Amino acid sequence: MPQKKTTTKKVSKKPLETGVAKKKKEGNFAHPRGMRDITNDTFYHYQGFFEKASEIAVYYGFRPIETPILEREEVFTSGVGEHTDIVEKEMYSIKTKGGDALVMRPEGTAPVMRAYLEHGMHTQPQPVMLYYYGPFFRHDRPQGGRYRQFYQFGIEVLGTSHNIADAMTIGLMHRMLLESGLKHLSVLINSIGCKSCRPGYVRDLTTYYRRHIQKLGLIDRERLKTNPLRILDSKDEATREINAEAPEAVAHLCEACKEHFSGVLEYLDAMQIPYHIDHTLVRGLDYYTRTVFEIVTDGAPVNAQPEAVAEVKEAGKNEEGGTTEENPVAKAEEKVEEKVVAPRLALAGGGRYDDLAKRFNSKRDVPAVGATIGVDRVIESSEFSPHSPRIIKKPKVYFIQLGAEAKLKSLEVIEMLRKAHIPIAHALSKDKLSVQLATAEKLSIPFVIIIGQKESVDGTVIVRDMGSRSQETVPTSKFADYLKKKMRE
Ligand code: AMP
């Protein structure tokens, strides 16, 4: 196992409240906790990542799917499991006026399996390989790298039990992270067996934990009754010590599961993907069988997001906006530092879920495997290297119009430029030449086109080169070609 890195990242001490947040007492119009407005470069980072990951997935033979943001509650209570954190504590549930119980999707695998079954995708050539991305919602305590609305990119391979699908899924997630600049990665992997060998393992585990019950915290004692496997990923320090000696799943695997697992590892070796077998890795969802894995950061710090800092600071205040501790901001910052630099952060995770279809009353077995990347965490990594989204068009021309006639023509001119693939910036609501020219200057845009009263009557356009300050009057019908030529010079 790699060494834990202990360096911390200083968070800014600047006040982070927005104007809207400051007005809290008069009426709170701020964004909900754990959710954000994503703008400017950050927006492009997300968009670029989604495009790159989609491209990689498409080359590997995946096709896109988009499922609704809202699903029936049963998709998660039956699919993910009633005694999981997601279902017990974290779902945003909605009762519609018609009486339906809907949930804002907390994860993507159960909805994709629901869609596979609903559309009879078993009639298509198997496996069906799907990718998706978008927002997911979990009502958890917001902190560094954990939001209530977060973004995932996921892949699912449905209709195959072959272990090459497990290896490809892990390899693809790993590849997507590498291509985004992340270098310090560890693949943690485990096998939690199938319905024939897991009960024996859970029995052994239960016996073991009963022997240590005095040392278990309340939550873990409860888990002993509902889902003993979950004790293995307990955050409780005392439980973690007990876990170090706990029976290991791989020692309880049946022959078929053993063979499956060793095959996955062989494929990983062949792909030269280093991995660690982590006996305490079980992942929090009930639908997993056999392979489970996570890709974690290996010491690379994650950049503190102002939002995370603000959330923790907010948590240190009482209702009146006062404070609950002597120096709560300093305390909050300490807390953020602890969280933000947590040396091992899961960037991606997934596994096999051969029994999920049965949880949806499917008559047929649909063996499947899938995984998701936590896109927020990738983008916040100090190692992240952004991909340029295809749609970004840096304006090369600033369009200035003067007078009512010119304003009337302006939309027509913008459309002509769009057809000629020339991205522009403009301030259509402004009237003064000096204001518009100053903006063009400020944005460092190389060319300006100007239509005034005279030009709009003559059917011409003034094209000004901002570098040389030279300008020329060109007929409207020719100015797009003229501009393109100038831009190539
Ligand atoms: P999970 O669906 O819980 O297996 O999570 C898959 C990945 O999504 C994790 O490894 C994280 O990178 C990311 N993730 C999960 N929950 C959150 C959250 N609340 N905020 C940000 N990222 C998350």
pLDDT in tens, 435-453: 998 999 999 999 999 999 9
Nearest protein CA to atom 11 of ligand 1, as residue: 374
Ligand 1 center to residue 333 CA distance, Å? 23
Nearest protein CA to atom 13 of ligand 1, as residue: 374
State which of 376, 380, 381 you would mutate to test the pocket of ligand 1, scoring each by most atoms of that ligand within 8 A of its C-beta: 376
Q: How far apart are CA 261 and CA 268, in angstroms?
A: 11
Read off the pTM: 0.83
Q: Tens-digit pLDDT profile for the chain (489 aa)?
A: 444 443 434 444 444 444 444 545 578 899 999 999 999 999 999 999 999 999 999 999 999 999 999 999 999 999 888 888 889 889 999 999 999 999 999 999 999 999 999 999 999 999 999 999 999 999 999 998 899 999 999 999 999 999 999 999 999 999 999 999 999 999 999 999 999 999 999 999 999 999 999 999 988 999 899 889 999 988 888 999 999 999 999 999 999 999 999 999 999 999 999 999 999 999 878 899 999 999 999 864 444 444 443 443 344 333 333 333 333 333 433 343 333 334 578 999 999 999 999 999 999 999 999 999 999 999 999 999 999 888 777 888 999 999 998 988 889 999 999 999 999 999 888 888 999 989 999 999 999 999 999 999 999 999 999 999 999 999 999 999 999 998 888
Ligand 1 center to residue 272 CA distance, Å? 26
Q: How far apart are CA 380 and CA 340, in angstroms?
A: 10
Q: What is the pLDDT of residues 326-360, one digit of tens each?
A: 333 334 333 433 333 345 789 999 999 999 999 99
Q: How far apart are CA 23 and CA 21, in angstroms?
A: 5
Ligand 1 center to residue 58 CA distance, Å? 23
| Residue 294 CA, closest ligand 1 atom number | 10
Instruction: Give, in order, the Cα–Cα distances in Å from 258 to each of 255, 263, 274, 286.
Output: 5, 8, 19, 20
Nearest protein CA to atom 7 of ligand 1, as residue: 374
φ, ψ of residue 34 in degrees (nearest 5): 75, 5
| Residue 106 CA, closest ligand 1 atom number | 2
Q: How far apart are CA 236 and CA 419, in angstroms?
A: 61
17-34 burial, b if ≥16 CB within 10 A, otherwise e?
eeeeeeeeeeeeeeeeeb
Ligand 1 center to residue 374 CA distance, Å? 5
- Within 6 A (CB) of ligand 1 lie 107, 138, 140, 145-147, 150, 152, 346-349, 372, 374, 376-377
